[in-house]
Chains A and B, each alone.
Chain A
Amino acid sequence: MNTQLTELWNATNKRVLFMLVLLVFILVVFNILSGGFIFHAENIANLFRQVTVVAILSVGMTFIIVAGHIDLSVGAALGMFGAVTAMLITQMQMDPILAVSLILIAGFLVGCIHGALVHYLNIPAFVVTLGGLIAYRGVTQYVARQSIPVRTPWIKAIAQAYTPDYLSYILLAIIILSVIAVTIINRNRLAKANLPMHTPGWIDILKIVIISLISLTIVMTLVSGDGIPIQAIVLLIAAVIFSFIAGKTPFGHYVYAIGGNKQAAQYSGISIAKNTILVFGLMTMLAAICGIITISELSAAAPDIGDLKELEAIAACVIGGASLMGGSGVIGMSVLGALIMASIKNGMSMIGIVAQTQKIILGSVLVLAVALDQWSRKGKNS
């Protein structure tokens, strides 16, 4: 029994475990303090809706930070693309599907320009995206100087609608089956290559069971209310796709190499230009997607949408363990970091702490999280 427990301990990623336990702890504490309102279906749904934008931004921001850069423009870019979408659809009567497609392409191209400026002109990303932050906020404030209403039903549905029950169950089944399939496929391929398994079989089964139970609880809670918020599904898809890109594509590996040591990556034949431009392009495209989610939520474009969202995204990545020096960071962990921040905010609102005090507490939590991280690393470094 003892050796099995040791095996389990060695196989767990301590950071993931710690953050999951922390998340549960936060939710439970606030649940008690608020008289049991946290775990209500309506509040869990609210929690997911509140976390979506920051979490999607943190997915892209993880890549940016891993590459050794930073992107301060994403909040303002979100605002700009949201406002322009509303303008195209409502004021210029453009077909909504065309408008959204154009905005997504524009988002990608604007990001590519960031990347090109950073690489070819050697301007630090901080400076390029700071300029973007200021300029795009100006564009947003001009385009949406009077709030632009958004009336397109399917756009409003993204942030305001929920999945019907049958769809929720299908999604749950897809999640559980995918986790099982991925585990089996990975073990098969390691076996075929005559390589040792990373973890013993029973630990993998335990992981599958735990993930299934968590997904089951969340989905059933949401189903007992109005269903799963559609934007949460957008977040899930974005996180899965980008995690796949990070771990299984050459581009993903190159980004980690460039962030780890840019010159070593260059001397290994990796194209710094292509990969830098692509990383920034993807980030701003994700910001554009978040812009559309935001105008969907408000059914309108306002001049201050997305304000300061980049800082929350960066905080999420840092809490999730991404190193600001580049070369390390995990997308799933950044999303978890966003969830932790959102659950603290959500809990504080439930027990009536005012917004100003919330900001003080959140700022302290961020510094505390990094301090804890540095303290735990101290033991590992010689």
Chain B
Amino acid sequence: MKLPTLFEKIRQKMFGDVVTTFAWMSVVLLVLLAIAPAKDFLADWHVYQRGYEKLISKRSDAVTLRRHFEPGIQQIWLPEMGVVDRCTTCHSALKEASLSDIKIQPYRFHPPIPHKPEEMGCSVCHRGQGTATSVEDAHKSTLAWEEPLLPAKYLESSCGQCHQQDLKGTPQLNLGRKMLGAYGCVHCHTIKRPDGTVISGTDDPPSLAHVAEKTSREWIFVWLKDPQTYSTTATMPNFKLSDDDARDVSAFLISQSTPASLKIVQASLDQAKKVKDDAVLQTKAASLYGESFCASCHAVQNAAGNLVGGNVGPELTKIGSKAKPEWLQAWVRNPHEYDALTAMPHYRFNDQEVGLLTGFLMGKADADLLANVHLDSATPDQIAHGKRLVNDYGCASCHEINGIKHPENFAPELTRIGSKPVNQLAIAPGVPHTLYDYIGAKIKQPRAFGPSLKMPQYTFTAVQIDALTNALLSHNERALTIPSTKTVPAVAPSHYEPAGNAGQLIRDLNCLSCHEINGRGGDMAPDLTWEGSSVQREWLLQFFRNPNTLRPALIRRMPKFNLTDAEINTLTDYILAVYQSPKVDRDSMPMSGYAPAQVEEGKQLYYSKYGCQACHIIDSKKDKGYIGPTLTHVGSRLTAAWVFAWMKDPTALRADTQEPKRNMSDDDASALTAFLMSQKGGEKQEAKKR
């Protein structure tokens, strides 16, 4: 049979007469017409809505759930935020708390957060394509849409679009933001917050103007090759310099260094030399290091390889291989001489003590560190090449270097990095084509994106990289355009400076490295903004002479600075006069003291109603509480007015205190104040005074 005849037969059979032709055409038309509704019926969102209806029909509260359910395309429209989100079309159970046991998407109940979807939309936090009505378009990166949903670990970045302050619920974002300053990212990359303020560095990289006074060229070479070999806590990244480049940069840095006119005391240097071979002096030096609480700020690696100590100052494990003894003794004597703005306090050590500490620190050396470094004296060519490298790598973005200007905008500005279009990214091989993967990969291994890139290699953990990615993603176009009524601006940094002679002393002792006053300062020690309302004069004088700890479980303590009586008086007068709280009313306290009955009542309240002994010690034989300060001497330490105000509302006086507010009556607060003020430290103290 030939084909044409076959066709002819079919044509005759089907379209032989008008009626059958019409019938056939009707069938074809019907099928064509059915395609649209069928497509609609099979659309993702329809399938999910039918699934939802089936799901809720089996629940005990089906009637309520069905009443809440609205079929069809749903939409959250927030014109001022530019939000058109149809996510609720499929995610029908977002607000149904009774479905919180359902663990399959798209039917999960949205976990409680501080915002409602109808106020913020969905894509503001989750990204993705809000207007899409198919699964692929809404969640994934497609040809027409490059912004897929944010993985859960980057969600905190979205909080950071509006909240420029740290939030309790966003630990990752807080960490990332802190790191932008603490690891010096912002020295090279400008990052502006939506309110126009610029994020500033908090790492305080040292000036290199007098670096030759401090250390040797060999040490600089080793440090440049890899800062981690000297200290695992180094914040300086690895620039991956070749041996020749490191040789030349070290040559230039030494050549540009100028003398620093340090005070060199031979007696201290002699003493320091003796420490090495004298066991008695070594013990003495170690205990001076301990008593001075150097470890509150500086860490040292112990025999087990664990770092012990604080991270305010640099790690001292191998300081003896770095610092020159002359520099070290001058630094220990008065650090401001070398670096006027250092965070290190000026201890008033005598020359012998300076020698002891210098000797002790010089002993913390690693013989292997510089053993294999042999540098010939530098040629002018090498120095010139070193200078070129210093310019190329932007060293002066962080460090002060003689003859090199601080470069402006050395690296790309990152104010909008969180919304940079993916098609503008030069993505390294093997990195998925999404913005967050790009940022993470770039932080992890910057030079993988091109051999000529200058960005150095950091040694961040996976958690730190995620935290930084969160912080960077929060700096995006939306953050810059969101209405200011919806945002919480960053806390303006405090530029508080204490005044007068006392102010000079406070700067010299660097009290603000540990204590916060009027919004400025560290968080290691108590906030002193209202210290003057809090403590009694006698106690404060005594405390400066010999600072002992108030909290039994605390390891870090205030060091003894060996202040003179005149200095102590200046500080005490200033603190008592200036650091006064308006919430503490001295005049409202009874002038004539408290009646024994009131003291007794306070004792009852203390032990039974309020259970204060859970956290505090008042009777050192019986009480054991370890959380709050010991109260055995509280009557000679604190003012009655402060104690009363504290009883009424401790959080109003110190926002971060662990002590809860009790909402107690004035009578209870007075009785407790009476009891606490009667705690003067027992007979021992009295005997001492007499």
A and B are partners in one complex rather than unrelated chains: no
